[in-house]
Amino acid sequence: MQNRRIFLLGLLLMIVLAGLPYSKADAANTPKPDSVLLLYDSAAISTPKEGNVEALERLLASFGTQVTVHSYDQYQAGMLMNYTKVISVRNADDLFQIPDSYKQDLGNYQGDFLHIGNQVPMNVQQALGLDEQNVEQDIASLKIGQLSQKAIMVNGISYVTKYTGKAYGSLTSDKLKSAAPYAVSNGKYGYIPYMVKGNLTELAAAYLLRDWLSVKSNHQLYLLLDEIYPFSNLALLDELADRLYEAGIPFIANVQPVLSNLDYPAAQRYLETLKHVQSRNGSIVVNAPVVASTISQDITVLKSEMSSFLDALAGYGIVPLGIGSEMYWTYDDHYAVNGLSYFDSSILFPNEHVMYRARTDKSQAFGSSVYTIPADVLKSYVAQGQILEPLPMDAALVYAFPDNNKKLDTLMSSLIQDWTLFSDYKYEDHTVRTQVNEMGSGKGQLHINGQTILLNSVLKDISADHAYVQEGKKSLTNLFSVQNKVFIILIASTLLIFSAFLFIGYRLYKRKYTHTGRQL
């Protein structure tokens, strides 16, 4: 009898455990990339390598990695031992002196190490079995996966002639008339001889980073419509959403927030349009507000305004799924706390107009981050007629919102003809939290505060009548009205009397002149 009870209790426990949500248990067991220490010797200002550190930061962010960035001048003894993964970027020439404390720590370092650029440390050379041939100036062609680019101008490059381990891509030298691996790795060590911002060498680095960071999950390719503002052609946006829906193409709309006057008809029409976009298989992502100045009397205004807009979206049944921002926002405490903290998903754009408020060396990592690349740039790396395949990380092809019908027709024709398969952003898990609302998505469903949102495509007609300037109190209106009438009567009477005197004077003067003429 007692054995039977034990058996029944065990069976009941198994049933309870089996009923636990699989997705949460699975997420808990999914390894996440470690925090990475990124060291560089020079920002390479005014050289072809300028910006490659920033490009590397954005690549690492797309894998969900938290990054701490320091120059070698900031290095302190023992810093390497706090990280299991370290990346070294060497942009400077041989004259740059590496700190002795770093050299000593590197000799004892047991973690994963990736070197980018020249002057490869001896332990990395030995681990990779490297032999190289240096070329000062050259024209190279790069091919990796289905991507390729010809006639890349390179300076101070080392071509790998011998290695041990795995090779990534092929870099063909015009001067040497031979091909070499673009990058190589072996166990915990990796090496990328050349990486600059703005050409295929930037994107190619992601293929090695995926393996070096031990990222195993499948990756998605998204379509993103950018530069959508409250003053955009909303009727055209409705039409574009309808045509994408009819073509079976899911998309992400990166929309600019309205930070004030949310009760104005213009703002309400904007929200109505976004609700329609959402109903047409469009996922809404809120773009970071434009930073016009870093000077403000109230540094908390960003937090309250972002919260108000997110709650306004929720009130309209619109579910924002992430934040779109330039990369530098993740390296700023003010923007991270007051602007990014509502979101667990991000879409990161390259820096264009950097305006730090409280800069920090450690980035804010997100559960989901999407790497962005202009659609025309990525397609220039793919042979005509080929269907784009997913990249090593989640990525979005960026299209500017067309501002006229001709551009809309051109965009739709291009999307339909190339047969690229885009993923639906809301099928991934995304969460946005304010003090009032919790919104998000998963498995294609949108929800607000636990309630599934039914997609509604019916547009509400918003009246244009609105008192944009509130009228003040009118307690003295009647008094001023009577006073104005009295003044009008007095002025009119004065003008009549003055006109009469002028007329009488004119008659007297004329009579006198006539009488004088007769005497003569």
Same domain, 191 and 72: yes
Tokens of 115: 């070197």
The conformation of residue 274, written as its DSSP 8-state character, comes to H
**pLDDT of amino acid 20:** 38
Q: Name the residue range of residue 63's domain.
A: 31-212
How far apart CA 243 and CA 249 sit, in angstroms, is 9
Same domain, 106 and 252: no
Q: Given 212, 235, 267, which residue is the final one in a domain?
A: 212
Q: Is the per-residue pLDDT at 64 higher than 90? A: yes
**pLDDT of amino acid 181:** 97
Residue 519 lies in a domain: no
Tokens of 407: 């551009």
Give the number of other CB atoms < 10 A from CB of residue 458.
8
Q: Is the per-residue pLDDT at 487 higher than 90? A: no
pLDDT > 70: percent of the chain: 84
Same domain, 201 and 230: no
* CATH assignment at residue 234: 3.20.20.370
Q: Given 452, 472, 501, which residue is the final one in a domain?
A: 452
User: pLDDT per residue over 489-517, tens digit each?
Assistant: 888 888 888 888 887 877 777 776 665 55
Q: Is the per-residue pLDDT at 439 higher than 80? A: yes
How far apart CA 397 and CA 226 sit, in angstroms, is 10
Same domain, 146 and 58: yes
Q: How confident is the model at residue 33 (pLDDT cuts 50, 70, 90)?
A: low
Same domain, 357 and 236: yes
Same domain, 321 and 414: yes
Residue 485 lies in a domain: no
Same domain, 396 and 282: yes
Across 68-86, average pLDDT: 95
Q: How confident is the model at residue 470 (pLDDT cuts 50, 70, 90)?
A: very low
Same domain, 274 and 187: no
Same domain, 58 and 175: yes
Give the burial string for 270-291 (b: 16+ CB within 10 Å, else e): bbbbbbbbbbbbbbbbbbbbeb
User: pLDDT per residue over 307-324, tens digit each?
Assistant: 999 999 999 999 999 999
Same domain, 253 and 202: no
Q: Are 89 and 52 in contact (CB under 8 A)?
A: yes
Q: How confident is the model at residue 178 (pLDDT cuts 50, 70, 90)?
A: very high
**pLDDT of amino acid 509:** 73
Same domain, 305 and 354: yes
Residue 417 lies in a domain: yes
Q: How far is CA 516 from the centre of its chain?
A: 95
Same domain, 173 and 242: no
Task: Tell me what percent of the chain is helix, strand and coil, each rounded to the nearest 5.
Answer: 35, 25, 35
Q: Is the per-residue pLDDT at 68 higher than 70? A: yes
User: pLDDT per residue over 142-162, tens digit each?
Assistant: 999 999 999 999 988 999 999
Residue 468 lies in a domain: no
Orientation angle between helical segments 52-62 and 200-212, nearest 10 degrees: 40
**pLDDT of amino acid 485:** 77
Which position has the higher pLDDT, 174 or 16?
Answer: 174
Average pLDDT of the residues of the chain:
86
Residue 513 lies in a domain: no
First to last CA, the chain: 155
Q: State pTM to two decimals.
A: 0.81
Residue 5 lies in a domain: no
Q: Is the per-residue pLDDT at 471 higher than 70? A: no
Q: Is the per-residue pLDDT at 300 higher than 80? A: no
Tokens of 513: 């002149």
* CATH assignment at residue 195: 3.40.50
Q: Are 90 and 116 in contact (CB under 8 A)?
A: yes
**What is each CA distance from 78 to 75, 82, 96, 102, 109, in whole angstroms?**
9, 7, 21, 8, 10
Across 407-411, average pLDDT: 96
Instruction: Please name every residue paired with 431 in a beta bridge, in sequence order, or none if there are none.
Output: 440
Residue 278 lies in a domain: yes
Across 114-119, average pLDDT: 94
Q: Is the per-residue pLDDT at 213 higher than 70? A: yes
**What is each CA distance from 84 to 36, 79, 115, 134, 375, in whole angstroms?**
7, 11, 15, 31, 35
Closest CA to 167 of 139, 146, 140, 186: 186
**pLDDT of amino acid 456:** 64
Task: Sort strands 170-173 and 166-168 into parallel, antiparallel or unpaired.
Answer: unpaired
Q: Given 212, 243, 267, which residue is the final one in a domain?
A: 212
Q: Is the per-residue pLDDT at 59 higher than 60? A: yes
How far apart CA 142 and CA 399 sit, in angstroms, is 25
Q: Is the per-residue pLDDT at 57 higher than 70? A: yes
Q: Tell me the residue type at 336.
A: A
Q: How confident is the model at residue 483 (pLDDT cuts 50, 70, 90)?
A: confident
Q: Is the per-residue pLDDT at 22 higher than 70? A: no
Domain count, the chain: 2
Across 1-29, average pLDDT: 41
How far apart CA 165 and CA 371 sit, in angstroms, is 28
Across 87-106, average pLDDT: 88
Q: How confident is the model at residue 164 (pLDDT cuts 50, 70, 90)?
A: very high
User: pLDDT per residue over 235-253, tens digit each?
Assistant: 999 999 999 999 999 999 9
How far apart CA 358 and CA 363 sit, in angstroms, is 12
How far apart CA 52 and CA 44 sit, in angstroms, is 9
Q: Phi, psi (5° rounding) for residue 285?
A: -125, 135
Residue 335 lies in a domain: yes
Closest CA to 437 of 446, 445, 428: 446
Q: How confident is the model at residue 293 (pLDDT cuts 50, 70, 90)?
A: low
User: pLDDT per residue over 255-278, tens digit each?
Assistant: 999 988 788 888 899 999 999 999
Q: Is 471 exposed, middle or buried (0-12, 13-18, 19+ CB in 10 A)?
A: exposed
Closest CA to 108 of 88, 120, 119, 123: 123
